[in-house]
Structures are given as structure tokens and as C-alpha cells.
A and B are shown apart, each in its own frame.
Chain A
Amino acid sequence: SQTIHQWPATLVQPVGSPLSLECTVEGTSNPNLYWYRQAAGRGLQLLFYSVGIGQISSEVPQNLSASRPQDRQFILSSKKLLLSDSGFYLCAWQRESRYEQYFGPGTRLTVT
């Protein structure tokens, strides 16, 4: 069976500090991978998606970047965090032969 991991689970960072959130998927190969941000416990905003190693598509220009150094690893980064970067960050994976996405447990980021 497939499993998706995210870490850390929670993070408190000062404004201007760097960020690195990691997502890994087990039990599948060549998944599509996604980063979402959820603000205030409601709607999800797609930030980045990747259909393969080194292939990143950005949906919303902002202070964040993403990388996919390995097939089942997806990293969300920032060089300098803003207060507005606070939120709940969710990673998801999808097998291209299926249509639904499966989500990880999330990382709650608070920028102070």
C-alpha cells in the first residue's frame, strides 16, 4: 500500500528565516506530486505540482519554490519567510492512471 509522509508536523519560524518542508511517498513510482496551502482551515490553494523529477509547475507566483530531487520526494522552500506564509501546508500524490489525489498529514507553519 502507499503512504505519504510530511515533516515536520509543526513549525514556528521568524520572519525572514528560510524554510524547507519535505514530503515523501512510499509504495508507488513516478507519482504526480502536489503542494497546497490551506489558510484558516478552509479552501485549498494549489502552489506547485510535479509530473516527474526536476519538473515543477508553479500555479501562484509568490515567496515559495519547490523541487523534486528524487522520484518520490517533493520539497517546498523559501529563502525568506513572510508573515503571510503562515498556514497549513499539504502535500498530495496521484497515480496518473487514477484520478484522485491522496493527501499527507500536513505541516502547520506559523511565521512570527
Chain B
Amino acid sequence: AQSVAQPEDQVNVAEGNPLTVKCTYSVSGNPYLFWYVQYPNRGLQFLLKYITGDNLVKGSYGFEAEFNKSQTSFHLKKPSALVSDSALYFCAVRAPGAGSYQLTFGKGTKLSVIP
């Protein structure tokens, strides 16, 4: 079975400072990893994914994430936080291979960027 852990329920960061939202995963084989963002009363928006290749992936709105296979982590980062980045962030994992459709989501991390 696959699983995702987001160890922090909430992360607070000052505007302009770098931010990190943590994610670790467990899956058989090489994982497909994703980050999504959710604003209040909205659906999830796709930010970025890691499928294969370069361990550092870049996504929307200046976000990036680093895949670390030895630590089974996929932390989300941004060099300079904006107040508008305040939202709920979800990490998700999918097992590789055809016929594997299920995304397993973490419980989410609430990011608050303080002006």
C-alpha cells in the first residue's frame, strides 16, 4: 500500500523568506509524486510533478520540489514567499505502472505567509 506523510499541520513564514513544506512517501517501486494547492472553498490546483529524471522539478507560481529517493521525501520549496501563497498544500503519490490509477494524498499542510 502507498502512503504519504505531511508532518506539519501548519507552517508559518514571513513574506519574502524562503518556504519549505515537507512530504515523505511510501510506495513500491519508483514513485510518481505530485504537489497541489487548495484555496478556501476551491478545488485543488496542480503545481508540479516528479515522474523521472532531474530530482529538482519546477512548477507553477515559482514553486519547486526536490525528490530525494534515499530519504523518500519530496519537499516543496519557494525562494521567496508571498502573502498570496497562503493556502492548503497537498502532497500525493501514485505507484508506477499501467493500471495504477489511485493518487494517495497527504492530510495537507496549511501555509500562512505573514506580511
- Whole-angstrom distance between the Cβ of B94 and the nearest chain A Cβ: 7
Residues of B within 8 A of A92 (CB): 44
A106, B90: Cβ atoms closer than 8 Å: no
B41, A108: Cβ atoms closer than 8 Å: yes
**Which residues of chain B from 42 to 86 have any CB-CB distance to chain A below 8 Å in the complex?**
42-46, 49, 51
Count the B residues whose beta carbon is within 8 Å of the partner chain — how many?
Answer: 22
**Which residues of chain A from 84 to 112 have any CB-CB distance to chain B below 8 Å in the complex?**
88, 90, 92, 94, 99-106, 108
Residues of A within 8 A of B41 (CB): 88, 106, 108
**Which residues of chain A from 39 to 62 have any CB-CB distance to chain B below 8 Å in the complex?**
41-44, 46, 49, 51, 57, 59
A43, B108: Cβ atoms closer than 8 Å: yes
Task: Return the chain A residue nearest B48 by Cβ.
Answer: A100
B44, A41: Cβ atoms closer than 8 Å: no
* A32 on interface, CB distance cutoff 8 Å: yes
Task: Return the chain A residue nearest B47 by Cβ.
Answer: A100
Task: Return the chain A residue nearest B106 by Cβ.
Answer: A43
Task: Return the chain B residue nearest A104 by Cβ.
Answer: B43
Subset of 13 A-B contacts with CB under 8 Å: A41-B40, A41-B108, A44-B90, A88-B41, A90-B44, A99-B49, A100-B34, A100-B46, A100-B49, A101-B46, A103-B43, A103-B45, A106-B43
